[in-house]
Amino acid sequence: MRLFAMKGSEDLGVAVAGAIGTALDPHEERDFEDGEHKARPLVGVRGEDVYVLHSLAASRGASANDRLLKLLFFLATCREHGAERVTVVAPYLAYARKDRQTKARDPVATRYTALLFEAVGTDRIVTLDVHNIAAFQNAFRCETVHLDTRQLFVPVIERLAEGGPVTILSPDGGGVKRAQLLKECLEAETDLHVGFGFLEKRRSRGIVSGDLFAGEVAGTVVFIVDDMISTGGTMLRAATACRERGAKAVHALATHGLFGESAETLFASDAIDRIVVTDSVARAARATAEHPSARLEIVSVGPLIGEALRRLRDGGSISDLLGTES
């Protein structure tokens, strides 16, 4: 087994490697003055089972497109030099949100991204809490492995709830299934009384609307659950609605803390008591450093991804790892 982590994903790569009980394999990445680049493994990959980790969220100095192209070229290079099997580990998968046509002549970028990975010889792709799991699985023709963070968030919820009644809330209709699965996992593993709710949300040409609020949150500790936080507008909208309806406390949970510049409003707001994300993208750790007063907590996904890769390498069960039916 060879495990590489591309530039910008090294910290998570080290955590994943540590969970497996190994070290990252060395590689070289060079950027040239004209904007081109090259990357190559510094160890032999012929006949090897190669895993390449790279989270495809934009960061300072590297757009999602930059990260995606560098990853694709590195995968192709490993194939070029005889890798027997190549697995992409993309905790955050770029373009997963654009999985259908919502306007005339819209692209379906999720499918185009899948075609690119397959074109360079990718055998398997592992990702974490993708925006729409059905669209993700249908877009790819290679093997797909979808990991989720339900079990990572359960102890966080149990601690923050302090034994009180809990409501799991989806901030929009598209995340209802995600929130329901977390509710079921929480009920199975704790003694908490868990309610459920969701908020209507429609977005068209940048305008957000929708007034329906389903669920009873008065006197409960509310956990708003989403796959990602970018600007934070969706979370703030839902948190404000919960506060208006008598929620005792409101916490935001999301796997991917993308935290664009507009997220400063989220960090400054009193509507949310705690924001909990994972280290699936490096931006979360930078946000903690840049906003020391923000009520931000980071949960590591390194052990989860590491155990998943160990099971893939050794023929173990991913279903058992995630607690899903086999």
Q: Per-residue pLDDT tens for 117-142?
A: 999 999 999 999 999 999 999 999 99
Mean pLDDT across 152-176: 93
Domain at 285, CATH number: 3.40.50.2020
- Same domain? 135 vs 188: no
Is 98 an annotated catalytic residue? no
Q: Average pLDDT of 31-37?
A: 92
* 8 A C-beta contact, residue 302 and residue 18: yes
| 206 and 318 co-located in one domain | no
With 80 as the cut, is the pLDDT of residue 306 above it? yes
pLDDT level of residue 209 (50, 70, 90 thresholds): low
Task: Supply the range of the domain harboring residue 31.
Answer: 2-148+303-322
Name the percent of the chain lying above pLDDT 70: 97
Q: Quick one: average pLDDT of 67-76?
A: 98
Tokens of 110: 């999720």
Task: Please check whether residues 57 and 164 belong to one and the same domain.
Answer: no
pLDDT at 82 over 50: yes
Q: Are 221 and 258 part of one and the same domain?
A: yes
Query: Given this model, what pLDDT does residue 290 score?
Result: 87
Q: Is the pLDDT of residue 210 over 80?
A: no
pLDDT band at 203 (very low <50, low <70, confident <90, very high): low
**What's the mean per-residue pLDDT of the chain?**
93
Question: Long-range CB contacts (< 8 A, 24+ apart) of 175-183?
Answer: 175/225, 175/226, 175/227, 178/129, 178/225, 178/226, 178/227, 179/225, 181/148, 181/150, 182/150, 182/153, 182/223, 182/225, 182/253
- Are residues 216 and 127 part of one domain? no
What are residue 87's DSSP bridge partners? 51, 124
- pLDDT (mean) for 96-117: 93
Q: Are residues 134 and 253 in the same domain?
A: no
Q: What is the CA radius of gyration of the chain?
A: 20
Tell me: do 16 and 130 sit in the same domain. Answer: yes
Most confident stretch, 70-79, 186-195, 224-233: 70-79
Residues 195 and 53 in one domain: no
**Facing residues of 206 across strands?**
none
Task: Enumerate long-range contacts of 100-106, CB under 8 Å, 24 or more apart.
Answer: 100/135
Same domain, 112 and 187: no
The predicted pLDDT at position 326 comes to 42
Amino acid at 323: G
Taking residues 55-73, what's their average pLDDT? 93
For 173-194, how does the pLDDT look when each residue is reduced to its tens digit (9 = 90+)?
A: 888 999 999 999 999 999 888 9
Residues 57, 177, single domain; the answer is no
Of the candidates 98, 183, 201, 248, the residue annotated as catalytic is: 201
* pLDDT tens readout for residues 237-295: 999 999 999 999 999 999 999 998 888 899 999 999 999 999 999 999 889 888 888 89
Number of domains in the chain: 2
pLDDT band at residue 112 under the 50/70/90 scheme: very high
Task: In whole angstroms, give the CA distance from residue 226 to residue 238.
Answer: 11
Residues 179 and 143 grouped into a single domain:
no
Helix (H, G, I), strand (E, B) or coil at 196: strand
Q: For residue 311, what pLDDT is reported?
A: 95
**DSSP for 62-125, written as a single string:** B-HHHHHHHHHHHHHHHHHTT-SEEEEEESS-TT-S--S--STT---HHHHHHHHHHHTT--EE
Element holding 156 (H helix, E strand): helix 150-161
Average pLDDT over residues 56-83: 95
pLDDT recorded at residue 148: 94
* 230 and 309 part of one domain: no
